[in-house]
Structure 1
Amino acid sequence: MSYIIKNLRTKQWIMIFIGIIASIVYVVVAGFVVLIIQNFVDLISGIKQPDWLVPDPNDKLRATINLTALSLGLIIISFFIKVIGRIILLKQTLLAANLLKNQLYYKINLISLEQFYQYQRSTLINRLNVDYFKLEKAAINVLVYMIENIFEVFVYIGFSIALSGYLSLIYLFFIPLVIFLIIHGSKKTKDHYKKSYQSLDNLYQVIRENIIGVKVVRTFNLEDFQSLRYDNHHKQWLKSVLRADLILAMMWKLIFLAINIFITLTLVTAGYLNKTNSSLTPGVVIAFLNYLTYTSYVVIGICDYVLNILKTRSAKQRIKEILDLKEEVELNTAIFDEIVGKISINGLDFKYEQNNFNVLNKINLTIKPKDNIGIIGSIGSGKSTLCKLIAKINNAPDNMIMIDNVDINKYQTRHIRQSVAIDFQKKQLFSGTIKLNILKANSDADQDRINQVLDHSCANEFINNLDDKLEHNLIEFANNLSGGQKARICIARTLIRDSKIMIFDDSLSALDNITAKKVLDKILANYQNRTKIFVSQQIRTIKDLDKIIVLDQGNVVGYDTHKNLLTSCEVYKQIYDSQKRIGDEV
């Protein structure tokens, strides 16, 4: 909640101050309405008629009409004041909360991938939604309701003291008792709510896996296993929540019991004091009971808000963890010439933070501008990792990767993103039209350029058969397209950037042999002045390229032409032979 309040600007603080003033005015006016009720009771009972109502003390009808008109007028005025104050406070609070959500969203976009991988996706989604909305609700409770309730407590106690100082002594026992119950209850529930958040994260993770991996779950008959996982995490969450809610329920019962006891004590005390104090009329007692009752419910409201705030402590800590993540600070301000496309890798060692072993070992390579390079190797040999390092998706150690003889880390990240385009192994498309997905790589591209890349990727072969063509809507993950169709759209998206270095990570594996050959030939023919890297599992896809990098367990075991590798690289020869044996004519 404090993160939301920190986002308030000077103008918003001024508006909040105006809203708080409106709330104070409402509380004072509402307090006067109760005093009018006291005069009503005394007037109707015939005990006392207020002198200020009518000149004639015997004119009860006129006094009643005046009291009614005054009370209705004050009620209407207080209503409009309250509405105006609530609108002002609610609007400013939501504006500040929206700034926090924007900060969280931009923070996740700015952190490094290493930090991103530290958290499960379900956890990040949970923090951006569930935890954020809890903080937003807490901020609304404090700024819109709780501040008003606090003023109500002081105003009602003030009016109570004005009516009867003796009866008001009850507050000295009532309020501390309620505060004690709140503090004691909050301490008991803190750990349970923290456990419930952890269980909820695990629960969302299982749900997410079931949704994303629904085909795998059904194919291998994992429904019972996944249901068991869900039940286990749900039971853990339910156990923590029930324990916390049971403590809160007991606390509320004790608070309501205290209210009833103190109301009874007020009546008994008033009856006793009435013997010696003639000013303690029935109207005064009823007005005091009204103030006591209002104060009781206001204190209950404050208790509820305080408890909600205490519940959000875990949410606040989880939000803080995201906001405290260090961004990828752009320290480089040097501007270099346009990248030509030369890549030099000098003794590159690399491992992921969560691993204690190297994924790549002592990589030494030189790729000339405009070269067409293939990369092949067994699964887990480091092919995709090498591509991500060249594209600066993952950060390489200093002076290990050079682009045009300049350390890649000295380039501005934006410069590298413009100069190195990569089609990832996992094909990721967004919900929306095909055209919108392609333009995400280059929003300035015109229709002619779009048509070019669709032709170069052979995506036009199926897009032209769609009723709405480029305006065809893709559902989440483009699950309404085949693997080959998604692959061709992703290739088109990479090509439309027209970067000096293009990387295609296993981009052709989802295509049939004829289409893959057509796409490769078109890319080689139309982008001759670009450095191109093709990762493939099949030799036939890359055998005609200028050179082929052979990776094995993170090591470069071969870097030469197809013909030379057949005689000089045992790993490459084994791959070649294995693909021939399974019936492929390499």
Structure 2
Amino acid sequence: MLKTLGRETKGFRLVSVLTPIFMIAEVIMEMIIPKLMASIIDNGVTPGNMQVIYTVGAQMVVAALFGLLFGILGAVAGSHAATGFARNLRRGMFRNIQTFSFANIDKYSTAGLVTRMTTDVTNIQNAYQMLLRMSVRAPASMIVALIMSYTINRRLANIYLIAVILLGCALAFIMSRATKYFGEAFRKYDDLNESVQENVSAIRVVKAYVREKFEGEKFRKASENVRNLLMRAELILAWNAPLMQLTVYSCILLISWIGAQLIVSSGATTFTTGDLMSMLSYCMNILMSLMMLSTVFVMITMSAASAKRVAEVLDEQSDLTNGENPVMEVRDGSVKFDHVSFAYKKDGEKALEDIDLDIKSGETIGIIGGTGSAKSSLVQLLPRLYDVTEGSVTIGGVDVRRYDLDTLRNNVAMVLQKNELFSGTIAENLRWGNPDATDAEIEDACKQACADEFVERFPDKYQTHIEQGGNNVSGGQKQRLCIARALLKKPRILILDDSTSAVDTATDAKIRHSFAEKIPGTTVFIIAQRISSVENADKVLVLDNGRVSGFDTPANLLKTNAIYQDVYNSQTKGSGDFDEKGGEA
């Protein structure tokens, strides 16, 4: 974990080293001041020598100014190092997430990833800054103060040593008890963020069903769980302050009492008033250093769980990688499934079993089947969103695992069931398919997807702003824009995963007709609920519980396949919903 996080300090290692150096320099300046103060009292104030007071006083001012300078430099360098470290952590996680396969992403919830990039990184940032500054300053201050105390009076210095040992044991006990609760609390943040995310993204449904109170109660329970765990941890940490104060005041009383006796008994010869003042100053330095260390321990305790969660994301390796000498060109859109089986988890139930298909380049393949028949799972194997468990999938005569991932995915355009648009203009969204696309190419893609019909009606046309998630366009409009975006890739294979479900039948027919005319060499896979969407396909694949029930022309399937017959009859005779026999996977 430490090695993983340490890699992300790159670019900020110099300031990370300079920060503790400045802190040590500040401590040295602070430790000089009590010694100079003793000299003023013993050699200046007591004998009434103003020259000593001026000289030593000037030295104290210089030491204080240098201490201030080193303190400022340490604070600036520490802040620069900590914020840079946090930036690198967020950037590193984000970049690594982009490489994840769907199988990797399935391990984490969206809310969990958001928590890691916000709350967890903030905890690590605060802890890192404390480590660079306080974890160096506090021990250095305590050690130097103890050494200086022993140079003044060994007997009184032993009081500090005993206090440090007792207080250190007490703090270690407190920290060990609080760690468990902080770890649990940060895991509960995922549930809290998930509740907020789910509520905001589905706010229209919440209001439509008048479920505000129910959602409010869910959030209350999630926030209450976090509060209870943090409260338990804070109640344990609350013992920190009174123990610290008890130790500080006890030491001050003992030093004052024993020191006064030494001054009186020795006639201020072996132990002077200035020495007592110095010992009291060192007392405060030592015990304040312990208080700083306790704060550092609290931050480390809070950030330990966060550090593990962040390192987990940074260490996660995509299970889909390029092999040696990857193929950089897709010859054509021919597809072959060679006895393919697939399961989402190792040793889990197979979603697909023994799929054996041979599809020629340029063919249009319709795919139908009941709910859970793994239609989406099948097509997700083509761009290697998942890898097969058994068998092989080849495109253009080459196993997809041998292709360069970018090359493969640039030649396999996929319009998923859940269409996503991003905030920006229509043109910017479409250029996700091809960043170098010209305005003419964009307009042509929209014509093929029948999106030009509504885009031209917008006052700003292709410069019309799309809100996040495409909330200011209808479902059908969103689907057509996503199809146009896919067409801009000019792919060898085009996959429409129930991508015209929100489009009327006439527009659906226009889109399919446009494909036949404009992209005859592209292999098209159409997952659909409507028979009309696949009845003109070259072949239709019927899936049943992850197995091939039929793969033939629509006309032949209508004669030989019971599932296809049932779907056809239910829709053409108007006798029910498709999902009575099976909906979309």
The reply to whether TM is greater than 0.5 is: yes
Once the two structures are superposed, the pairs formed by residues 298-309 of structure 1 within 5 Å of their partners are 298-309=289-300
Give 1:549 shift.
1.4
Is contact 2:240–2:294 with CA below 8 Å preserved after alignment? no
Partners of 2:356 and 2:18 in 1: how far apart? 67
Measured against aligned partners, the alpha-carbon deviations of 1:127-174 in whole angstroms (never above 9, x if no partner) come to: 222212211211111013321222222222233233333321111111
Give SS of 1:389's match: coil
1:124 aligned onto 2:113: yes
1:169 aligns with 2:168: no
Matching residue of 2:527: 535
SS across alignment from 1:556: strand
Amino acid at match of 1:300: M
Deviations 1:210-268 (A, max 9, x none): 12222333333433333333333333222211111101002321121111111111111
Structure 1 position 4, deviation (Å): 3.6
Map residues 518-529 of structure 1 onto 2, 5 A cutoff: 518-529=510-521
User: Which residue in the other structure is 1:189 paired with?
Assistant: 178
- What is the letter of the counterpart of residue 113 of structure 1? F
Separation (CA, whole Å) in 2 of partners of 1:365 and 1:183? 65
- Which residue pairs with 2:196 in the alignment? 207
**Partners of 2:79 and 2:129 within 8 A in 1:** yes
1: CA distance, partners of 2:564 / 2:306: 53
* Native 8 Å contact 1:398 1:407 kept in 2: no
Identify the residue that residue 178 of structure 1 maps to in structure 2: 167
Change (3 A) 1:455 1:76: same
CA separation of 1:471 and 1:149: change in aligned 2, threshold 3 A: farther
Corresponding residue of 2:369: 377
Q: How does 1:92-111 map to 2 (within 5 A)?
A: 92-111=81-100
Provide the rounded CA distance (Å) in 2 between the counterparts of 1:14 and 1:204: 36
Which residue number corresponds to residue 581 of structure 2? none
| Paired residues of 1:398 and 1:409 also in contact (CA < 8 A) | no
Matching of residue 237 in structure 1 with residue 226 in structure 2: yes
For the 8 Å contact 2:332–2:492, the answer to whether it is kept is yes
Tell me the amino acid that sits aligned with residue 429 of structure 1: L
Q: Is the CA contact (8 Å cut-off) linking 1:399 and 1:408 kept in structure 2?
A: no
Partner Cα separation in structure 2 for residue 101 and residue 314 of structure 1: 16
Say if 1:5 and 1:139, in contact at 8 Å, map to a contact too.
no
Q: CA deviation at 1:354?
A: 7.7
- The equivalent residue for 2:20 is 20
Q: Partner of 1:359: helix, strand, or coil?
A: strand
Deviates more, 1:521-530 or 1:432-441: 432-441
Which aligned pairs between 1:482-501 and structure 2 lie closer than 5 A?
A: 482-501=474-493
Alignment of 1:234-313 (within 5 A): 234-277=223-266, 278-279=268-269, 280-313=271-304
Determine helix, strand or coil for the equivalent of 2:354: strand
Root mean square deviation of aligned Cα: 2.5
Distance in 1 (alpha carbons) for counterparts of 2:324 and 2:404 = 6
The secondary structure found in structure 1 opposite 2:413 is strand
SS at match of 1:400: strand
| Superposed displacement of residue 404, structure 1 | 2.2
Q: Deviations over 1:436-490 (max 9, x none)?
A: 2222222122222112112222222222233333333322211122111111111
Residues 449-468 of structure 1 aligned to structure 2 (within 5 Å)? 449-468=441-460
CA distance in 2 between partners of 1:198 and 1:488 (Å):
40
Q: CA deviation at 1:504?
A: 1.0
Structure 2 counterparts to residues 379-458 of structure 1, below 5 A: 379-397=371-389, 399-458=391-450
SS in 2 for 1:183: helix
Amino acid at match of 1:29: M
**Could you list the per-position Cα deviations for residues 514-573 of structure 1 after superposition, in whole angstroms to 9, with x for gaps in the alignment?**
222222222221111111111111011221121221222222222222222221211111
Distance 1:537 1:16 in 2: 59
Whole-Å Cα distance in 2 between the matches of residues 231 and 311 of structure 1?
23
Residue 204 to residue 487, structure 1, CA distance change in 2 (3 Å) = same
Gaps of 5+ in 2: 579-585
Query: What is the distance in 1 between the residues matched to 2:6 and 2:545?
Result: 52
**TM-aligned CA deviation for residue 185 of structure 1:** 0.4
2:208 to 219, 235, 254: 219
**Length-normalised TM-score, structure 1:** 0.92
Conserved 8 A contact 2:5-2:311: no
Partner residue in 2 for 1:47: 46
Segment of structure 1 superposing worse, 115-124 or 161-170 = 161-170
Alignment partners' CA distance in 1, 2:21 and 2:543: 71
Give the corresponding residue for 1:52.
none
**C-alpha contact (below 8 Å) 1:389/1:395 kept by paired residues:** yes
Partner-residue secondary structure (3-state), 1:550: strand
**Whole-Å separation in 2 of the counterparts to 1:203 and 1:96:** 26
Query: Percent of pairs identical after alignment?
Result: 24
8 Å contact from structure 2 (residues 23, 133) kept in 1: no
CA distance in 2, matches of 1:337, 1:146: 55
Alignment partners' CA distance in 2, 1:142 and 1:582? 71
The answer to whether the 8 A contact 1:339-1:419 is kept is no
- 8 Å CA contact retained: 1:332, 1:411: no
TM-score (norm 2): 0.92
The 1:71/1:467 distance shift into structure 2, 3 A limit, reads farther
Which shifted more, 558-567 or 178-187? 558-567
CA distance in 1, matches of 2:12, 2:551: 63
Q: Distance in 1 between matches of 2:524 and 2:226?
A: 51
CA distance in 2, matches of 1:476, 1:311: 34
List 4+ stretches of structure 1 deviating above 4 A: 11-15
Q: Is the 8 A contact 2:329 2:407 kept in 1?
A: no
Give SS of 1:78's match: helix
The answer for the alignment partner of 2:147 in structure 1 is 158
In structure 2, distance between residues paired with 1:201 and 1:469 = 41
Change (3 A) 1:331 1:337: closer
**3-state secondary structure, aligned to 1:211:** helix
How far is the alpha carbon of 1:337 from its aligned partner?
4.4
SS of match in other structure, 1:541: helix
Which amino acid is the alignment partner of residue 22 of structure 2? A
* TM-superposed deviation, 1:355: 8.4
SS at match of 2:520: coil
Does the 8 A contact of 1:4 with 1:139 survive in 2? no
Letter in 1 for 2:6: I
Q: 1:43 offset after TM fit, Å? A: 6.1
Match of 1:513 in 2: 505
Q: Please tell me whether the aligned partners of residues 4 and 136 of structure 1 are also in contact (alpha carbons under 8 angstroms).
A: no
